[in-house]
Amino acid sequence: MLDIKFVRENKDKVKENIKKKFQDEKLPLVDEVVELDEKIRNLKQKGDNLRQERNTISDEIGTLFREKKVDEAKEKKEKVVEINKELVTIEKEEATLSDQLKEKMMVIPQMIDSSVPIGKDDSENVEVERFGEPVVPDYEIPYHSDICEALKGLDKESAGRTSGNGFYYLMGDIARLHSAMLSYARDFMIAKGFTYCVPPFMIRSDVVTGVMSFTEMENMMYKIEGEDLYLIGTSEHSMIGRFKGQIIKEEDLPITLTSYSPCFRKEVGAHGIEERGLYRVHQFEKQEMVVLCKPDEAMDWYNKMWSYTVEFFRSLDVPVRTLECCSGDLADLKVKSCDVEAWSPRQQKYFEVGSCSTLGDAQARRLGIRAKGENGNYLVSTLNNTVIASPRGMIALIENNYQKDGSILIPKVLQPYMGGMTKIEKK
């Protein structure tokens, strides 16, 4: 959410930003919020004047009573009653208009960074750099679910009976590989100096609206019936929510956290749920990184964070590339974002395994997260990035380490988490 003062003083810039995100239907909101803001400020001024007048009259009433001018004092008291009634009306109108202003401000997108490429959707995202040499073996690589089923590691049929489409059972060595990757991701980030956390897996609605846009919320979040609780779609939600309403000491910044959680997503929209495989499902597990920092340090942390994901996947012998997200592919709270994509030797193309974003002060403003510095309090910047989301990350590992005999080589960094196993093979 933008600062209303910024919108008031930079209407044209805000409108241009909306155009860059191809959301022209939101353009009228800019004039609407400026008009509402003016009405609210006028009401505040009127209220302040009335309170000042009331205070003056109250002083006069005391003087009149001391001078035994009772009738005149009573007339003044009636005036105070009238002022109080008028103040009640003003305060109610101010509260109503403030709610309307906040509702509209929550829909206006965050100002994107000047380096973000302009484009309508993800088809116009821009490749930045490749890491590792993509390899296509001289033998066929089956679909990942077929590989897992052949190794007795996947049961989607039973999950369909217990939970429906979009769920799965992982079994045996495949389940162990899945856990090994998450454990390695945890230790990888701890070695980078991040503090390991396991957060709540449910959050209240005021936290949800603080960390994401309404569109994302509607398409992603599962609500707990009868309670003000939502299942998290990523641990970023509860990790940022942890600091709601807090004032952080500047010397404690940056705060660098890595969190594990299951994630739950409705996946409503164009992509839908993948019926056969594990690429797009309702439930998965994730190791995340979250940073709260000074605004002028945000871009440095952004570049560090995506590079950690690249380093992580390269240590698993998985070639990756980074893709700069264009303006039309950015969620409304994001200032800048890039995807890390892994090479698929089966499809002979890259697919997304992680996303890194800097959100400026958007989440901090919504949730009231500030730092206390020498020159007063200020809003912090927040960033988040995927270390690994599995089973999607596991798909990348399986395809890039699949052998002609149907086995899967286990990268050296994962072998300690697999009891020393060097490969998964049919038993």
Reported as a single tens digit per residue, the pLDDT across 335-392 is 999 999 999 999 999 999 999 999 999 999 999 999 999 999 999 999 999 999 999 9
Our measurement of the distance from residue 303's CA atom to the centroid of its chain's CA atoms, rounded to an integer in Å, reads 17
CATH code for residues 122-424: 3.30.930.10
Output the pLDDT for position 187: 98
pLDDT of 161-207, one tens digit each?
999 999 999 999 999 999 999 999 999 999 999 999 999 999 999 99
Q: Give dist(CA 72, CA 69) in Å, integer.
A: 6
Q: What percent of the chain is modeled with pLDDT above 70?
A: 98
Placement of tokens 């609500």 in the chain: 223
pLDDT of 226-251, one tens digit each?
999 999 999 999 999 999 999 999 99
| Sign, CA torsion 296/302/305/307 | negative
Output the pLDDT for position 64: 83
Output the pLDDT for position 376: 94
Number of C-alpha atoms within 13 angstroms, CB side, residue 291?
29
Beta strands in 206-362 (DSSP E): 222-223, 230-231, 247-249, 255-264, 283-293, 320-324, 336-344, 349-358
pTM, entire model:
0.90
Q: Which token pair is 119?
A: 């484009």
Chosen CATH of 4-105 out of 1.10.287.40, 2.70.98.50, 3.40.50.10860, 3.40.50.300: 1.10.287.40
Delimit the domains of the chain by residue range.
Answer: 4-105, 122-424
For residue 110, pLDDT beyond 70: yes
Determine if the peptide bond prior to 254 is cis (ω within 30°): yes
Q: What is the mean pLDDT of residues 325-330?
A: 96
DSSP code for 326: P
Output the pLDDT for position 71: 85
